[in-house]
Amino acid sequence: MLYSDKVLDHFSSPRNVGEIPDANGVGEVGNAVCGDIMKMYLKIENGVIEDVKFKTFGCGAAIATSSMATELIKGKTVEEALKLTNQAVVTALDGLPPAKIHCSVLAEQAVRSALSDYYRRQGIDPEPIVGKIEEPEHDCESCGSCDH
């Protein structure tokens, strides 16, 4: 499986790793099939994501996509972060192997999950704004890291 230099860089030197103790948006998503779990922490002030951190348990692509997703939303408004797509993460990483696209979907869902939590803490129903958080589709046949 060939990875771009950007994927390898974000895997070997991930950005924004860790936790934010006073985060006002925390989201966790996982893929039960391959075991990847991503937890995203947001510190939002006046509608802007001042800080973002993540903790990911998973393969190199899962770590790289988490890292890139944090880079893409840090300093952005909540509205801009809501527009983050898995395709934007893939593009920013100069591509991913087809079997690892689900990692980018998981990164997008982790951001959305943390934003949902942020809205909930404001007393706002997040679903009309953020949408439903669903487990990404996973292709075990081409994954290479599943036991199935």
d(CA 92, CA 65): 9
Catalytic residue of the set 103, 140, 143, 146: 103
Given a cut of 60, is residue 138 above it in pLDDT? no
Given a cut of 60, is residue 139 above it in pLDDT? no
pLDDT tens digit sequence for 102-120: 999 999 999 999 999 999 9
Mean model confidence pLDDT for the chain: 91
User: Exposed, middle or buried: residue 17 (CB in 10 Å: 0-12, 13-18, 19+)?
Assistant: middle
Structure tokens at 85: 């797509």
Given this model, what pLDDT does residue 32 score?
Answer: 75
Q: What pTM was computed for the model?
A: 0.90
Catalytic residue of the set 34, 59, 140, 143: 34
Given a cut of 80, is residue 134 above it in pLDDT? no
Read off the pLDDT of each residue in 119-144 and give the average, rounded to a whole number: 77
132: pLDDT confidence band, cut at 50, 70 and 90? confident
Neighbours of 55 (CB within 10 A): 15
DSSP-derived secondary structure letter, 137: P
103 counts as catalytic: yes
d(CA 48, CA 43): 8
Given this model, what pLDDT does residue 115 score?
Answer: 98
Given a cut of 70, is residue 17 above it in pLDDT? yes
93: pLDDT confidence band, cut at 50, 70 and 90? very high
d(CA 148, CA 144): 10
The share of the chain scoring above pLDDT 70, in percent, equals 89
d(CA 118, CA 24): 6
Its CATH class, for the domain covering 5-123, is alpha beta
Name, in order, each residue with C-beta under 8 angstroms of 128's C-beta and a sequence gap of 6 or more. none
> Which of these, 129, 111, 113, 13, lies nearest to 53 by C-alpha position?
111
146 counts as catalytic: no
136: pLDDT confidence band, cut at 50, 70 and 90? low
> Which of these, 46, 47, 30, lies nearest to 38 by C-alpha position?
30
